[in-house]
Structure 1
Amino acid sequence: MSATSKRSGSRTRLEHMIQTLREEIVTGQRSAGDYIPPELSLCEQFQLSKKTVRKGLDVLVGEGLLEKVPRIGARVTAAAQPEDVVIKFGYYPKLVREIKLQQMIDAFHELHSHIRIQAIPVSHHYDKTRNIQRLQDDSLDVLTINAHDIEYFAGPDKDEDADTCPLEPLTPVDGVYPFLEQPFRRDGKLYALPFVFTPVILCYNKEHFLEKELPEPDSSWTWDDLQQAGRTLSNGVDRFGFYFHLPSGNRWPLFLLQHNVVFQTDEQGRYILNDSKVKGALSACRDLVRDPKLFPVFLSENDNDAHALFMNRKVSMILCTYDSLNDFESAPFVYDIAPVPYFREPKTLLGAIALAIHARSGKKPAAKLFLDFMLSHQNQMYLRLNTLSIPGLKRAAEWVGEGGTDNITNRPYRFHMYRDIIPTFRFSSTLQLPIDRLLQMGQELKLYWSQLEELDTILDQLEDKFATSASGG
């Protein structure tokens, strides 16, 4: 066994020890004043070194569950109050469908009847002050947070912002894909535990390709390949080759990413938007969506409209994310997925949802017990077997047939394709433009895509707006 494998196994056993002792204390199996087993007993029980056991006990001391008594041992300090523990959980409403959230909460209640999860739907604002105020006003203990919203809780990766973060630093969960942690780290601390992730992909109707005797999309496809195939698939009347919800913050920025755009600032700190790379990316996007033989003239309000067109066979290909596949579980036709086509090199946008704890929560031990459950192998396997979302836990995500039954009958043949395109994953932060600016940019670009304004004019105006906003004007 390699040194890396040994360390990984030790880390997993350490997490098991922490979770076991935490659960025993929070559930009242160990009362306040009770001493836990001696360190040597814990070493033997969990197959850990004395140093590692002490590290785990320090975690529980930090949580206020234990106190160390010199020359005697570790004593339980937190008195269990089973009947009074209510965890307020702020969640994204879409998770009810995409991960079967209520079923997960029900399963947690069965295991921990003394802890009640009060689920509160939330949608975060792109304003740090308002988000922190909401944490306090709603008294949230646990919340879902994505790779965009973390900017409005923890700020950029700078010491002064990390110090004021209202989220509790957390210990990484062994076995979670390491690349998922990147957006949730600030100043070396992890403020949320990745739960699910969802790259942008191409989804297509296999029957349409068969009908036109076209080869199906693969990883070699460029946007020219898509345009050529899409024109063949389209009849220009009631079926088009390609579509996506253009203003979405997880769609049009893909073209910036694939043109290697990284936004810079000048000596005055103004964002430089009127740049050749930026204009090249936006022009390429425009050429696709303004192609009348490829892209329908349809003003969608959100991604759901694009999904509806696909489900009704009105479009043959769409840009979507893995979690969107849950909308296609009952598709009346055979569909599959492929990597997003590319310009210069393959890249795609990656989204991730994580779980965080309010740093001022008075119920952190119970909240951490809830996070332990949500990221447990058992629960992540439930997610894998009953949804089309991708669990953050690698072992569960890559399950292929042992230890469970896949309950999704219409899973795409290439579902595990995401494993092959991991090197192409990029978070929107790669563009180095704050998400509120990026979304504002998307709204202003509607005029360009609609041919109502010149691109240079829009970019110049945005540069001025961003500068005025930054100066507080």
Structure 2
Amino acid sequence: MSAPSKRSGARTRLEHMVDTLRDEIVAGTRAVGDFLPSELALCEQFRLSKKTVRKGLEQLVNEGFIEKVPRIGARIVGSVHRETVLLRFAHYPKLVHEINLPDLIDDFHRLHPTIRVQAIPYSHQYDKERNYERLQTDKLDVVTINAHDFEYYADPDETSCLLEPLPPVDGIYPFLEGPFRRGDELYALPFVFTPVILCYNKEHFLENELPEPDSGWTWEDLRGTGRKLSNGVDRFGFYFHLPSGNRWPIFLLQNGVVFGKDGRDRYVLDDPKAKEALSLCRDLVRDPKLFPVFLSENDSDAHALFLNGNVSMILCTYDSLNDFRDAPFAYDIAPLPRFKEAKTLLGAIALAVNARSGNKAAAKLFVRHLVSYRNQMLIRLNTLSIPGLKRAAEWVGGPDKDNVANRPYRFHMYRDIIPTFRFASTLGLPTELLLRMGQSLKLYWSQLEELETILPKLEQSFAPPPEDG
């Protein structure tokens, strides 16, 4: 992706100035009748030219927030939020537990009593037209969105988007922004992120006098140790929810697989590297001395096996560590074992504003509240999720108090494995096709069909329809 131009940088700073002044007026920080700082002061504060500052002030005049008083300055004349504004916030249901979302919303209400947030548990659809319809008919103002879902809000080869462009926030990990950009525009602010890691029961390792996992492990190391941890009856060495779209693709990533297209614009899936990676995955999950025959419905089933002591090691994400806060045993985490390369899948949840919201100023204020240091620290101190703001995420001590008693000893390990993070888009397949591939591979995992027949059929099904004429 090309770096933003100097012109786009000035535009971003202009948006930041306008948004900041608007938010201060909306929040009551700057009262009706007060004057804004002089144009010169605004130039220095936001690193803009006088011409650009005047352009921003003119926008605020047009929006009805200020008026120009000749030879005196810009006076605040009103706020669109004299009456209580209702924001409709569609969020992933899991965030209630994983980041204590109701507490963050309550904090916003205390700071901004004229804005009320209605939290709506919400699942996105893998259909752009359907998402557009829901944004409008449900009158949503703010939505949580991950990298997969973003594909259904913004076309990959276009700049069109159903979401409002947002200025970046200083201090957010830069690697989190990529999936939420189109061109030079950022359409969602990264909020929390969660790489896939290995979680293990320390007591099982101690009982068997086995060394704990480390960053040098390969999948064969995991297999060998896992077999020693298994008794073949009610305890097995390793497990994960195989159909999960952020589990089995890890093996493809670690073998350097990138699906490309042939001369007929068709994806090439029948690839030797892909076959090698998928074969390793099947070898692990079909090993009766390592992996239990258990038909999980979701990742939570794998977590339950781990908490019950039925498995010693699982693949999980950082945010799922919140399920283990009351684990009746000592546990810890480690980087994923590697195949050819050390890589892991990264998930990120961002906050986006509906481009057609009637409450954009309040919506942007709420979004920036959630990614502020204050609230990112609340996530860091009270949960096992990783906030997107680096300063909060990497907090290790000070006047604030860590309120999680069962935080794993190696919690900050994620900082050391950042170079291994990859989004699923690295594989080169759109989310829809990757999910369809996972469905077809169920036959392979079950040994009902081989890759030599599955992959060519998938290639055919992924082919674009023939052109008319």
Q: Is TM-score (shorter-chain normalized) higher than 0.5?
A: yes
Equivalent residue, structure 2, for 1:149: 149
SS in 2 for 1:179: helix
Equivalent residue, structure 1, for 2:421: 425
The Cα shift of 1:453 comes to: 1.1
- Residues 1:328 and 2:347 are matched in the alignment: no
- Runs ≥4 in structure 1, deviation > 2 angstroms? 13-24, 27-35, 39-43, 47-84, 468-472
The Cα shift of 1:126 comes to: 1.1
Equivalent residue, structure 1, for 2:99: 99
Per-residue CA shift, 1:66-89, capped at 9, x if unaligned? 567476543546533343311111
Q: Which AA in structure 2 matches 1:231?
A: R
Matches within 5 A, 1:374-385: 374-385=370-381
Distance 1:337 1:57 in 2: 53
The Cα shift of 1:254 comes to: 0.3
Distance 2:396 2:17 in 1: 29
Cα 1:464–1:404 shift into 2, 3 Å = same
Distance 1:303 1:58 in 2: 51
Q: Which AA in structure 2 matches 1:102?
A: P
Equivalent residue, structure 2, for 1:271: 267
Contact 2:14 2:48 in 1 (8 A): no
SS in 2 for 1:271: coil
Q: Which AA in structure 2 matches 1:138?
A: D
Q: 2:293 aligns with which of 292, 297, 315?
A: 297
Contact 2:377 2:392 in 1 (8 A): yes
Point out the more displaced range, 124-133 or 243-252. 124-133
Equivalent residue, structure 1, for 2:411: 415
Any unmatched runs of 5+ in structure 1? 1-12
The Cα shift of 1:121 comes to: 1.3
Equivalent residue, structure 2, for 1:4: none
TM-score normalised by length of structure 2: 0.91
Distance 2:18 2:207 in 1: 57
SS in 2 for 1:21: helix
SS in 2 for 1:353: strand
Contact 2:255 2:340 in 1 (8 A): yes
Distance 1:196 1:171 in 2: 17
Equivalent residue, structure 2, for 1:27: 27
Contact 1:82 1:115 in 2 (8 A): no
Distance 2:404 2:201 in 1: 18
Matches within 5 A, 1:70-109: 73-76=73-76, 79-109=79-109
Contact 1:385 1:407 in 2 (8 A): yes
Distance 1:222 1:467 in 2: 36
Point out the more displaced range, 273-282 or 324-333. 273-282
Distance 1:326 1:397 in 2: 16
- Residues 1:340 and 2:336 are matched in the alignment: yes
Distance 1:53 1:377 in 2: 31
Contact 1:65 1:78 in 2 (8 A): yes
Q: Which AA in structure 2 matches 1:258?
A: Q
Distance 1:143 1:60 in 2: 29
SS in 2 for 1:154: coil
Matches within 5 A, 1:227-266: 227-266=223-262
SS in 1 for 2:79: coil
The Cα shift of 1:384 comes to: 0.1
The Cα shift of 1:284 comes to: 0.8
The Cα shift of 1:366 comes to: 0.6
Distance 2:47 2:178 in 1: 31
SS in 1 for 2:74: strand
Equivalent residue, structure 1, for 2:9: none
Q: Which AA in structure 2 matches 1:183?
A: P
The Cα shift of 1:27 comes to: 3.1
- Residues 1:363 and 2:328 are matched in the alignment: no
The Cα shift of 1:345 comes to: 1.4
Q: Which AA in structure 2 matches 1:128?
A: K
Q: 1:51 aligns with which of 45, 48, 52?
A: 48
Identity of aligned residues (%): 68
Distance 1:423 1:470 in 2: 41
- Residues 1:319 and 2:301 are matched in the alignment: no
Contact 1:198 1:322 in 2 (8 A): yes
Q: Which AA in structure 1 matches 2:289?
A: K
Per-residue CA shift, 1:258-303, capped at 9, x if unaligned? 0100001111111111111111111110000000000000010000
Distance 2:53 2:363 in 1: 18
Per-residue CA shift, 1:384-410, capped at 9, x if unaligned? 000000000000000001131000000
Contact 2:322 2:385 in 1 (8 A): yes
Q: Which AA in structure 2 matches 1:224?
A: E
Equivalent residue, structure 1, for 2:8: none
Cα 1:277–1:27 shift into 2, 3 Å = same
SS in 2 for 1:251: coil
Per-residue CA shift, 1:176-231, capped at 9, x if unaligned? 00000010010111000000000000000000011111111011000000000000
Cα 1:128–1:19 shift into 2, 3 Å = closer
- Residues 1:397 and 2:393 are matched in the alignment: yes
Point out the more displaced range, 60-69 or 317-326. 60-69
Cα 1:256–1:451 shift into 2, 3 Å = same
Any unmatched runs of 5+ in structure 2? 1-12
Cα 1:111–1:451 shift into 2, 3 Å = same
The Cα shift of 1:42 comes to: 5.0
Equivalent residue, structure 2, for 1:167: 163
Matches within 5 A, 1:114-153: 114-153=114-153
Distance 1:58 1:354 in 2: 30
